[in-house]
Chains A and B, each alone.
Chain A
């Protein structure tokens, strides 16, 4: 009842935003309404997580007359409902303040509630029809917000690429569900679960699902739209697209591969794990070289999706091999990382939004020194950056550690591909984690530390009340999810039990705060103890410094932080900080080349230092594809200018060909 009324209120809010969008207060009311609806849906999700209540299902007479719309909430949907609506609630609160300064807000506010509605409906769908319609609705409503600032050429391009990739995704998912429904055409998930797909059908369903949901989630090389589209939307929408919508895509993947498909061989898991590893490393390599703060965060999303997919692939491989306990472990780790990423990526995007609304800039080159001017945003962003860099005791560490622990069990599988592949993926994961830390040291350091690099950055003011608190709430959640890992894994255990058959089992139970998935002596972690220990050490250190240290006054030159000249140009720039990595990794992968142009003797022009880079995915995959399509279109176009006899001939040849096919088929 609560859920239904919350869902119904969202389109009404959208309608209200359209009708009364002229007044400023409308936008605040709509976002406040979205917040209330998200909290209600969060509460609804919480009720159904953990099997306290039986999973409800509703059948509504919507859609096509002979297909009723089926909805249901099981543990998996409930978990993702929590993720979605947590992010949605934070983004809504943030947007109350943020949208006041947004010039295109009348083109954004009406679609925001619709976007929330679509994502929630995807999670509650219990038949393919509702799922696909909501999925497409989710793509379109977010697309409208991506192109809301359509005066910018780059945003229009981002919108076009997004639309094409979204269409590609749905184009893949449509036949996947069609194959699962079979010729009888029973589109309910319950019927798909018991259907035997056969060898070829099973193969096609798995491939199409990975392509379709993977393109939405941002798996390399289908990620091309993501770093374009996510930054193009207003920041509160970017936060939802990056933090939350990618999770809906992963939900689709889990739902089909682990729930509906039901008979996936371990090969798919191994392949998915490898793709995840490549995605993680590529994503973070892109991220570390970006100058645009939001683009950096978007590429970092690609990386984190890769990490979550490593866990998912591993779970599928273990399940396909019959090792359900390990499958449960890997799946819990993967889901844990999705939860964490939805929290800290939403936080970081909101932080980026705060920086943009305070300074008007997204480029790292002109930011700097913002921590002094914006202490709230700076502190919250720091927590998010530390969490995404997987620093203990924050939440990012726990999930990446769990994924790594489950990877260590991978070589125990009786397949040589896994024995050799898993260590490679583990190395990828470690590399990605290390590079992510570098990436966020750079992002945070250049943005918030040092001296301002522009007048706008020097005069920035911290953001308004609601925006601060939405970020602070998410930052606290980053800490909480990190220090009570066992509580989280216990909750996730309810989710994985229906998918793998068993819950999350610890090998040696060391009691509540200890997480020991593998062995009590070799792999045990407690965020709670670590946090308490760290805080005590911190308190002791403060006590020692303040009480036992000397109180005498000391006069000396202040430390000048390495640049005695008080000019911002002497600091690290975003480019110079990334240069070592660009030289080490970018030279081969991105074909990064540096070129110094010295002026002629006597010429007064400054010397220039140019860097050229090539995106291998664009130049290696998408551009040839575009050229190929252009070539085909050019040649097919000639068919439009045939002679009368030419058209007759075409029909005649088609007829003869069809007859030949029939004749040959009869002979067989």
Chain B
């Protein structure tokens, strides 16, 4: 297989992760968001595995396995279970309308391409475009966190942001495995904390809308 073909496949998978990022922004149902997130994590695992193959870096298979197990399976199932268990309102509550969110998302992708491509002019073509894709995913994750009211969707936004980081990590050659493992575990810890937190919020306010939290802060004079 030619090098060009390797790159094309890598870019295709990376772009799939990015498309899943847009998909996250587009969904109107909480379960659909979770499914899309699982799909994004699956694509991420595929990207990591493909990078392991073309870079001859066997430790990236391990990264792919972590992404598959935790992010594509464990996290979506756990969130699914939480949503059902807590009987959360199943529609996505937006702070910015879906259409506008998509437009801003496109602008962010344009920004990251404009930014990354000139900066990494010296790096290889594979790394350059993957980095641009990864950065777009990160920015879309952040966008999701600020444009969605519900705590579950905010957590999904955070996880999508992590996906972007891991995509960047696997695209660059020589990222140590320990970094990826620690990222994966920090995500798990965050997931656990969020879960406990959800129960607590839910017990108090009968809702997961974070706006309820605001009247309970001590620093408002």
The chain A residues found within 8 Å of chain B, CB to CB, are 640-641, 643-645, 648-649, 651-652, 655-656, 659-660, 662-663, 666
The chain B residue sitting closest to A644, CB to CB, is B210
Q: Which of B201-221 contact A (CB under 8 A)?
A: 210-211, 213-214, 219-220
- The docked-state distance in angstroms from the alpha carbon of A569 to that of B43 is 99
Whether B213 lies near A645 (C-beta < 8 A) is no
State which of B111, B114, B210, B213 has its C-beta within 8 Å of the C-beta of A656: B111
- The docked-state distance in angstroms from the alpha carbon of A641 to that of B210 is 15
**Set of chain A residues within 8 Å of B114, measured between Cβ atoms:** 663
Whether B111 lies near A645 (C-beta < 8 A) is no
State which of B119, B142, B211, B219 has its C-beta within 8 Å of the C-beta of A655: B142
**Set of chain A residues within 8 Å of B149, measured between Cβ atoms:** 645
**Set of chain A residues within 8 Å of B108, measured between Cβ atoms:** 656
B205–chain A nearest beta-carbon distance, Å? 14
- The docked-state distance in angstroms from the alpha carbon of A662 to that of B115 is 7
**Set of chain B residues within 8 Å of A643, measured between Cβ atoms:** 210-211, 214
**Set of chain A residues within 8 Å of B142, measured between Cβ atoms:** 648, 651-652, 655
The chain A residue sitting closest to B219, CB to CB, is A640
Q: Which of B67-123 contact A (CB under 8 A)?
A: 95, 108, 111-112, 114-115, 118-119
**Set of chain A residues within 8 Å of B115, measured between Cβ atoms:** 659, 662-663, 666
The chain B residue sitting closest to A655, CB to CB, is B142
Judge if B137 is at the interface, Cβ distance under 8 Å.
no
Q: A648 with B214: in contact, given A663-B111, A663-B114 (CB under 8 Å)?
A: no
B114–chain A nearest beta-carbon distance, Å? 5
- The docked-state distance in angstroms from the alpha carbon of A81 to that of B210 is 67
**Set of chain B residues within 8 Å of A660, measured between Cβ atoms:** 111
The chain A residue sitting closest to B121, CB to CB, is A666
**Set of chain B residues within 8 Å of A662, measured between Cβ atoms:** 115, 119
Whether B111 lies near A666 (C-beta < 8 A) is no
B128–chain A nearest beta-carbon distance, Å? 14
Q: A648 with B146: in contact, given A656-B108, A659-B111, A663-B114 (CB under 8 Å)?
A: yes
In the assembled complex, 8 residue pairs joining A and B whose CB atoms fall closer than 8 Å, in A order, are A641-B220, A652-B143, A652-B146, A655-B142, A656-B108, A662-B115, A663-B114, A666-B115
**Set of chain A residues within 8 Å of B24, measured between Cβ atoms:** none
Judge if B60 is at the interface, Cβ distance under 8 Å.
no
**Interface size grouping (class) on chain B:** 20 to 34
B134-169 vs A, CB cutoff 8 Å, 1 = contact: the mask equals 000001001101100100000000000000000000
State which of A640, A641, A645, A659 has its C-beta within 8 Å of the C-beta of B146: A645
B213–chain A nearest beta-carbon distance, Å? 7
- The docked-state distance in angstroms from the alpha carbon of A620 to that of B114 is 49
B13–chain A nearest beta-carbon distance, Å? 25
**Set of chain B residues within 8 Å of A652, measured between Cβ atoms:** 142-143, 145-146
**Set of chain A residues within 8 Å of B139, measured between Cβ atoms:** 655-656
The chain B residue sitting closest to A650, CB to CB, is B146
Whether B214 lies near A666 (C-beta < 8 A) is no
The chain A residue sitting closest to B135, CB to CB, is A659
The chain A residue sitting closest to B211, CB to CB, is A643
Q: Which of A640, A644, A662 has the most CB of B within 10 A?
A: A644
Whether B214 lies near A644 (C-beta < 8 A) is yes
The chain B residue sitting closest to A652, CB to CB, is B142
B contact patch SS: helix
Known: A648-B145, A655-B142, A656-B111. 13 other contacts (CB 8 A): A641-B219, A644-B213, A644-B214, A645-B145, A645-B146, A649-B146, A652-B143, A652-B145, A652-B146, A655-B139, A656-B139, A662-B115, A666-B118
A contact patch SS: helix
The chain B residue sitting closest to A660, CB to CB, is B111
**Set of chain A residues within 8 Å of B146, measured between Cβ atoms:** 645, 648-649, 652
Whether A645 lies near B112 (C-beta < 8 A) is no
- The docked-state distance in angstroms from the alpha carbon of A333 to that of B156 is 76
**Set of chain B residues within 8 Å of A651, measured between Cβ atoms:** 142
**Set of chain A residues within 8 Å of B210, measured between Cβ atoms:** 643-645
B170–chain A nearest beta-carbon distance, Å? 22
Whether A659 lies near B112 (C-beta < 8 A) is yes
Which 5 A-B pairs have CB atoms at the shortest separation, nearest pair first? A663-B115, A648-B146, A666-B118, A649-B146, A663-B114
- The docked-state distance in angstroms from the alpha carbon of A662 to that of B219 is 36
The chain A residue sitting closest to B220, CB to CB, is A641
B42–chain A nearest beta-carbon distance, Å? 27
B150–chain A nearest beta-carbon distance, Å? 11
- The docked-state distance in angstroms from the alpha carbon of A640 to that of B145 is 20
**Set of chain A residues within 8 Å of B213, measured between Cβ atoms:** 644
- The docked-state distance in angstroms from the alpha carbon of A643 to that of B220 is 11
- The docked-state distance in angstroms from the alpha carbon of A544 to that of B145 is 103
- The docked-state distance in angstroms from the alpha carbon of A659 to that of B115 is 7
- The docked-state distance in angstroms from the alpha carbon of A649 to that of B210 is 14
- The docked-state distance in angstroms from the alpha carbon of A568 to that of B219 is 63
- The docked-state distance in angstroms from the alpha carbon of A454 to that of B146 is 74
- The docked-state distance in angstroms from the alpha carbon of A652 to that of B210 is 18
B20–chain A nearest beta-carbon distance, Å? 20
Q: Which of A651, A659, A660 has the most CB of B within 10 A?
A: A659
**Set of chain A residues within 8 Å of B119, measured between Cβ atoms:** 662, 666
- The docked-state distance in angstroms from the alpha carbon of A640 to that of B220 is 8
- The docked-state distance in angstroms from the alpha carbon of A568 to that of B114 is 86
The chain A residue sitting closest to B210, CB to CB, is A644
**Set of chain B residues within 8 Å of A659, measured between Cβ atoms:** 111-112, 115
**Set of chain B residues within 8 Å of A640, measured between Cβ atoms:** 219
- The docked-state distance in angstroms from the alpha carbon of A652 to that of B213 is 21
Q: Which of B118, B146, B149, B210 has the most CB of A within 10 A?
A: B146
A570–chain B nearest beta-carbon distance, Å? 60
- The docked-state distance in angstroms from the alpha carbon of A666 to that of B114 is 9
**Set of chain B residues within 8 Å of A666, measured between Cβ atoms:** 115, 118-119
- The docked-state distance in angstroms from the alpha carbon of A666 to that of B115 is 8
The chain A residue sitting closest to B149, CB to CB, is A645
- The docked-state distance in angstroms from the alpha carbon of A561 to that of B143 is 89
The chain A residue sitting closest to B145, CB to CB, is A648
B16-35 vs A, CB cutoff 8 Å, 1 = contact: the mask equals 00000000000000000000
- The docked-state distance in angstroms from the alpha carbon of A655 to that of B115 is 13
Q: Which of A641, A643, A645, A662 has the most CB of B within 10 A?
A: A645
A660–chain B nearest beta-carbon distance, Å? 7
**Set of chain B residues within 8 Å of A644, measured between Cβ atoms:** 210, 213-214
A654–chain B nearest beta-carbon distance, Å? 11
A554–chain B nearest beta-carbon distance, Å? 85
The chain A residue sitting closest to B115, CB to CB, is A663
- The docked-state distance in angstroms from the alpha carbon of A166 to that of B125 is 57
Q: Which of B95, B115, B211, B213 has the most CB of A within 10 A?
A: B115
